[in-house]
Structures are given as structure tokens and as C-alpha cells.
Amino acid sequence: MGNGFSLYHLFPITYHLFPVIAMKPSLEEITNLLTQKGTAMYGREAVSQLEHALQCATLAELAGESNEIITACLLHDLGHLIHNLG
């Protein structure tokens, strides 16, 4: 925020307590996540997780973005599916 307020002061995070876990899911695992859990609604939106992912990737493609950006758009909420965050 522009007023200098930071949630860090209320909830300081000691990052060394949260080890980075390297995930290298296969294309098959990603496809399974999207097809099996992607039918869940995207929060309170009128689209599913998979529809949202496809919308984002399609918009990036129509905008002429690189394959890397299109892929990032497709997978940007994959953690929601992995951790059942809807």
C-alpha cells in the first residue's frame, strides 16, 4: 500500500521455516490435475478452474504472447488444484 503499511509487520514470516519444495510434475500429472480437479468452480466465478485457465491462455495467445507466457497463463493457478484451494 502507498501509506507504508505492510502486513509483514503484523505477520512476520521466517522464511527459513518454509523450505522450498522442488516440484517437477510430468505433463501427464498436470493434465490429470486439470481434467480431474479442473471442473471445480473458480472461486465464486461462473467458470470452472479449467475454463479460467483456458481463458487466460487464449487471451495471451490472441495478444501474440510467447509460448512461455501462454503456458504460464495456462498453469498460473495450478497450486489451487494441488492444494484444493478452489
Give the mean pLDDT of 55-59. Answer: 95
Q: Which amino acid is at 10?
A: L
pTM: 0.66
Cα 82 from Cα 37, distance rounded (Å): 9
Give the mean pLDDT of the chain. Answer: 77
Can you give the pLDDT at residue 42?
78
Percent of the chain exceeding pLDDT 90 equals 28
H or E stretch at 81: helix 78-82
Can you give the pLDDT at residue 25?
79
Cα 48 from Cα 25, distance rounded (Å): 22
Can you give the pLDDT at residue 56?
94
Higher pLDDT, 61 or 30: 61
